[in-house]
């Protein structure tokens, strides 16, 4: 009965099989994300806590004691040609029964191809091998003849993890250790695996972030259905739990395309089925063809082994030169670690199980987590635009004027229009990119009916000019609503954005420094104002839970599902903010001697969150901004982030019809200069130092 059940499950079509042609890249991203989630790798750096170095049989030999905070201590061996300069290297991952001393040739191998690490070293490669740790650890008497790897795999499942994920974590640490070795060119590193080691090498290639890393996998090919049901030769340590619901083994290999790939399988391999392996090979070829590449697949007259000569030839070709940079540098990249994604899923599940899908405990937690970053009480709403409109409706701006900087997102002005106000524009100052106090004073004189002023913290900078802006508004008893959509976590003289005016309005849209998918927040120092926000956001109910309404509110609530994302993101926000500031400081250093580009100097008293890293190409240079962005994208794979902003509000069609009546507000010369001349470099917490160096190198090559 259960065999029938499992056959039915194994026969189901995987849901994420990479598609054809242009669909391949998107499908591959989905599969990699899935593998990351199912593997639950606990990434931990490996330290070398002991080593002995010798020259043995013409090879440089390092016996290493490796220490991991996850795994503890275990042994590894590094081999290299004698007197080797930094050159190509291969991480060698043996099968389940492979012994470290046989892989490295320290003792005679039990099969002629078992000492693959030694043979690759003699072929000119630095090799690193280590003990899997799935043999000899458990007491033989209590094991009672059962396979140690199987017992460990079952134990890992008790924690929702997998033996393969643990082995992959070890391999990822070893790969980093190998790439950092003084005898190794870090841009010329490959992966070899045999049998179980091939499964580990495959998943290491999927998760290591080196998208072009060459992989040679021997004696690990076929379908999971054949290996685990027809042949019964599959090992628990070679699969991720739940993987077949989404992807089969050949789909995982195909996900690597167009990275160099060699697969070897034997027609006399008792662990494989030749017809099944042949069909799997065709699936891999189809996936690679979709990416415009061709894998190297060898069907050989051998058993469950390795053709070391083919492997050496493969690495000689693919590691002859440094790998091309892996993938483009996007303008924006949102990244949640696996543990964070699982936390979101758990909170969504809790909301679905409770039946409370809006304005429940997750929203309350979101508001609580935001409060330390605003310095005041908070109320969550559906979006940053909703936050602005609610604040203006509470102030009461209908039929009066609201002053807005001319350089901001359309939503700032649109919220005032929806609240019933007439919008007038104010020029900016170029140091902190805030409202220019002199321009504001003139606008207040021209518009004595001003109901509110909306300064905007552009690019995550709270401008020092905000202080005189606030003083002008206090003199005239005009409320201030800070549009702090860019500025969560930013400060001025130690005071947080959103804590200067009557209200602070924040956005948690996916492009912002803190995200909830869709969502917004209002901060306010007055408990009464926050109570008014809560009524407005819930259709204007006269009290929580009431069926009576005393104002024309809206559906401006934040859902529990969005708050689940937002709470996880806010729990890591201190690290996010620190990472953004570190990246900005690195850009400052890297750009110091780049001609033709001037980074925007953040005022000393402003603690920017670096929502944008702004810079100014030489306005008299030969390239305009559009051409510079095009060349960076097409020639270097570097996309600049969006401007803030390239069009002034007065030039948008909605407001352009009123240009004549707004002519007295001025030509907005400073805002227009800024809109025309600035660029924004990619900056997000997952941006690597190598990617920053690549961005700056691309700029250096394109700027005069």
The pLDDT, as a whole number, for residue 18 is 58
Across the range 22-45, mean pLDDT stands at: 88
Between 692 and 623, whose confidence is greater?
692
Type and span of the H or E element at 495: strand 495-496
pLDDT digits (tens, 9 = 90+) for 226-236: 999 888 888 88
Query: Is residue 137 pLDDT above 70, yes or no?
Result: yes
In the block, residue with structure tokens 């199987």: 150
Query: Is residue 515 pLDDT above 70, yes or no?
Result: yes
Residue 104 CA: distances (Å) to CA of 98, 304, 305, 435: 10, 19, 16, 68
CATH class of domain segment(s) 574-643+678-702? alpha beta
pLDDT class for 241, splitting at 50, 70, 90?
very high
The pLDDT, as a whole number, for residue 21 is 44
- CATH 3.90.1150.10 residue ranges for the chain: 574-643+678-702
**Residue 125: CB partners within 8 Å, gap ≥ 6?**
81, 87, 88, 89, 90, 312, 315, 319
The pLDDT, as a whole number, for residue 324 is 65
Across the range 121-139, mean pLDDT stands at: 90
Type and span of the H or E element at 75: strand 72-80
Query: Is residue 664 pLDDT above 50, yes or no?
Result: yes
**Pseudo-torsion of CA 657, 663, 668, 672, nearest 10°?**
40
* Inter-residue contact 468 to 438 (CB < 8 Å): no
% pLDDT > 70, the chain: 97
pLDDT digits (tens, 9 = 90+) for 7-16: 787 788 888 7
Q: Strands of 99-203 (E only): list them.
A: 126-130, 184-194
Which residue from 680, 684, 685 is spatially nearest to 699, judged by alpha carbons? Answer: 680
Asked if CATH classification 3.40.640.10 holds for the domain at 338-569, the reply, yes or no, is yes
When the pLDDT of each residue in the chain is averaged and rounded to a whole number, the result is: 93
Query: Is residue 662 pLDDT above 90, yes or no?
Result: no
CATH number of 2-318: 3.40.50.1820
Query: Is residue 568 pLDDT above 70, yes or no?
Result: yes
- CATH 3.40.50.1820 residue ranges for the chain: 2-318
552-571 burial, b if ≥16 CB within 10 A, otherwise e? ebbebbbbbbbbbbbbbbbe
Least confident of 141-145, 193-197, 484-488, 576-580: 141-145
Query: Is residue 97 pLDDT above 70, yes or no?
Result: yes
pLDDT class for 33, splitting at 50, 70, 90?
very high
pLDDT digits (tens, 9 = 90+) for 264-311: 999 999 999 999 999 999 999 999 999 999 999 999 999 999 999 999
The pLDDT, as a whole number, for residue 665 is 65
């Amino acid at each position: 009965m259960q065999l029938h059940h499992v056959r039915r499950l194994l026969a189901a079509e995987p849901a994420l099989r990479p598609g054809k042609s242009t669909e391949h890249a998107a499908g591959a991203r989905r599969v990699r994300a899935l593998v990351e989630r199912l593997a639950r790798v606990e990434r931990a750096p490996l330290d070398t806590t002991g080593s002995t170095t010798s020259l043995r049989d013409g090879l440089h030999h390092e016996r290493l004691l490796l220490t991991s905070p996850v795994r503890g201590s275990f042994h590894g061996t590094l081999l290299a040609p004698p007197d080797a300069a930094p050159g190509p290297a291969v991480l060698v991952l043996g099968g389940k029964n492979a012994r470290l001393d046989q892989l490295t040739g320290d003792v005679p191998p039990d099969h002629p191809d078992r000492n693959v690490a030694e043979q690759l070293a003699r072929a000119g490669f630095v090799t690193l091998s280590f003990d899997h740790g799935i043999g000899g650890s458990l007491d033989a008497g209590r094991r009672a003849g059962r396979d140690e790897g199987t017992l460990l795999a079952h134990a890992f499942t008790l924690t929702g993890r997998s033996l393969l994920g643990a082995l992959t974590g070890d391999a990822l640490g070893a790969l980093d250790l190998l790439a950092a070795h003084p005898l190794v060119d870090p841009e010329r590193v490959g992966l070899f695996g045999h049998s179980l080691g091939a499964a580990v090498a495959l998943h290491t290639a999927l998760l290591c972030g080196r998208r072009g890393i060459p992989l040679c996998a021997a004696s690990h090919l076929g379908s999971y259905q054949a290996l685990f049901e027809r042949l019964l030769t599959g090992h628990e340590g070679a699969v991720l739990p739940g993987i077949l619901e989404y992807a089969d083994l050949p789909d995982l290999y195909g996900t690597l395309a167009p990275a160099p790939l060699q697969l070897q399988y034997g027609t006399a391999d008792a662990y494989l089925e030749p017809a099944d392996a042949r069909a799997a090979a065709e699936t891999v070829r189809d996936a690679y063809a979709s990416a415009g590449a061709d894998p190297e697949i060898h069907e050989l007259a051998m058993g469950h082994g390795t053709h070391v000569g083919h492997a050496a030839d493969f690495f000689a070709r693919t590691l002859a030169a440094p790998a091309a940079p892996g993938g483009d540098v996007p303008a924006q990249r949102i990244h949640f670690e696996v543990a964070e994604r699982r936390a979101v899923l758990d909170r969504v599940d809790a909301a679905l199980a409770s039946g409370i899908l809006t304005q429940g405990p997750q929203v309350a937690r979101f508001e609580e987590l935001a409060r330390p970053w605003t310095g005041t009480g908070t109320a969550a709403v559906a979006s940053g635009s909703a936050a602005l409109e609610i604040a203006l409706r509470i102030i009461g701006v209908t039929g009066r004027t609201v002053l807005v900087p001319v350089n901001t997102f359309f939503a700032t002005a649109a919220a005032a229009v929806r609240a019933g106000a007439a919008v007038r524009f104010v020029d900016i100052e170029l140091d902190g990119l805030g409202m220019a106090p002199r321009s504001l004073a003139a606008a207040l004189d021209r518009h004595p009916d001003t109901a509110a002023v909306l300064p905007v913290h552009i690019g995550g900078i709270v401008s020092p000019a905000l202080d005189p802006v606030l003083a002008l508004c206090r003199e005239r008893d005009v409320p201030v609503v800070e549009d702090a959509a860019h500025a969560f976590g930013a400060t001025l003289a130690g005071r947080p954005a959103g804590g200067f005016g009557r209200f602070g309005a924040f956005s948690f849209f996916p492009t912002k420094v803190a995200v909830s998918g869709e969502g917004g927040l209002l901060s306010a120092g007055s408990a009464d104002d926050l109570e008014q926000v809560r009524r407005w956001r819930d259709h204007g109910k006269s009290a929580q839970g009431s069926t009576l309404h005393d104002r024309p509110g809206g559906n401006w609530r934040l859902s529990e599902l969005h708050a689940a994302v937002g709470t996880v993101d806010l729990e890591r926000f201190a690290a996010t903010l620190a990472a953004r500031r570190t990246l900005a400081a690195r850009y400052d250093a890297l750009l110091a001697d780049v001609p033709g580009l001037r980074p925007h100097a953040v005022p000393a008293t402003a603690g920017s969150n670096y929502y944008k890293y702004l810079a100014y190409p030489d306005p008299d240079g030969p390239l305009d901004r559009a051409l510079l962005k095009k060349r960076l994208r097409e020639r270097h794979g570097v996309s600049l982030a969006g401007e803030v902003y390239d069009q002034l509000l007065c030039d948008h069609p909605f407001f352009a019809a009123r240009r004549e009546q707004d002519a007295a507000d001025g030509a907005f010369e400073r805002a227009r200069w800024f809109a025309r001349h600035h660029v924004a470099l990619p900056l997000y917490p997952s941006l690597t130092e190598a990617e920053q160096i690549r961005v700056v190198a691309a700029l250096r090559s394109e700027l005069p």
